[in-house]
Structure 1
Amino acid sequence: MIKRIHVLEDDEDIRYIIGVLLKDEGYELQLSSTFAELKSKLRDSVPDLFILDVMIPDGDGTDICTDLKEDPFTKHIPIIVMSANDQNKQKSLEAGANDYISKPFDIDYIVRRINAQLSKS
């Protein structure tokens, strides 16, 4: 069964790179640049994993992580939070993130982290 990953990232270049990378790995993708867009897409289908950027135009990724972990429909879904600021790591994990990735990231590293989270769920 193909796993679906929802990536919330406002930087178009990073979103594109992650999209190409994960499609090459055989994942189905949902891409959003805002929290509003993510919520809208959740009405159609629920992913197997979320990847959230911390700084997005309409919210904070750690607050979104908390919202997703408190929602009965998404609380079971693993979340990986990404940020260029390592000060966000502790806040992300306290918000319920299952993992944290620092930007810039190594392509092979992010794939390993994603695979590790999906193998647990």
Structure 2
Amino acid sequence: MNPKILLIDDNEDLLLITQIILKGQGYEIFLARTLEEAERKIKIHQPTLLLLDVCVGDEDGRQFCHKIKASPEWSQIRIILMSGDDCAENRLDIADDFLSKPFDFNELLTKVNTAVSAAAA
């Protein structure tokens, strides 16, 4: 079974392009445009990895990251935070990795592959 990745962002173009790239690498991809939708899809699909924007509309992806990591049921899910704002507080306080936007797709693949490998270990 292919690893499952949930992409969480309110930027439709970014979601679609990232989905195409990751599907091409054999990952099973799900999309969420809000944190409420993301939570529903985590329950249904049980992803290995979340690619989570720091700001999803007016919602705070960092708080959602804290919620996931604090949950006994979901704490094993790897999370890569993404943001166009490269300030230090967006980085690895609770996420497993950070990806600055706009990102190079080779960097995306490297970080995703690393996170999925770590989850499987």
TM-score exceeds 0.5: yes
Could you say which residue in structure 2 is the equivalent of 1:77?
Answer: 77
Q: Give the one of 108, 111, 116 matched to 1:110.
A: 108
Shift >6 Å, 4+ stretches: none
TM norm structure 2: 0.93
Supply the AA of the counterpart residue of 1:103: K
Unaligned runs of 5+ in 1: none
Unaligned runs of 5+ in 2: none
> Cα gap change, 1:85/1:58 in structure 2, threshold over 3 Å: closer, same or farther?
closer
Describe how 1:1-121 pairs up with structure 2 within 5 A: 1-87=1-87, 89-94=88-93, 96-121=94-119
Rounded Cα–Cα distance in structure 1 between residues aligned with 2:41 and 2:106 = 28
| CA shift for structure 1 position 112 | 0.5
Aligned length: 119
Supply the AA of the counterpart residue of 2:70: E
Indicate the percent of aligned positions where both proteins have the same amino acid: 35
| CA shift for structure 1 position 79 | 0.3
> Are 1:36 and 1:58, in contact at CA under 8 Å, matched by a contact in 2?
no
> Are 1:10 and 1:57, in contact at CA under 8 Å, matched by a contact in 2?
yes
